[in-house]
Amino acid sequence: MENNRLLICTIGGIIAGLICSIGGLLSGNISEFSFFTIVPTFFNRVMLGFFIGISSLKINFLFHGALIGLFVSLITSIPFLEGNMNGFLFFTIAGIIYGILIEMFAVKVFKAKIE
């Protein structure tokens, strides 16, 4: 079941990465469509799904997703603090929400619980 959970969560991260990259472009938080603006956002969300998939913390699954979402999102959102506080808040809060959603889909929909 661990490999199944890892795959489910990583696919969830890929989907979150696509949604977050497109949302960042549409909201104006990502100023241009280029490799150096889209790739960090996309791969941060893929890492989020991967880390949720490999984590085995024995805590409530929603808190688990939120906690990992926060810490993984901070990797990319801290540079936003230099000039775009809104970008920092949007990216970090979105990471928490995506973490909760990835975890919720893995546990409730696909029955891939933390082992």
Closest by alpha carbon to 69, among 36, 45, 85, 33? 45
- Which residue's structure tokens are 């199944």? 4
Token output for 10: 């990583």
Question: What does pTM read for this prediction?
Answer: 0.92
33 vs 12, more confident: 12
Mean pLDDT calculated for residue range 90-102: 96
Query: What confidence tens digit (pLDDT) does each residue in 72-90 have?
Result: 999 999 988 888 788 899 8
How far, in Å, CA of 14 to CA of 1, rounded?
Answer: 20
User: Which pLDDT score is estimated for 68?
Assistant: 98
Q: Residue 1 — very low, low, confident or very high, per pLDDT cuts 50/70/90?
A: very low
Q: Where are the domains of the chain?
A: 2-109
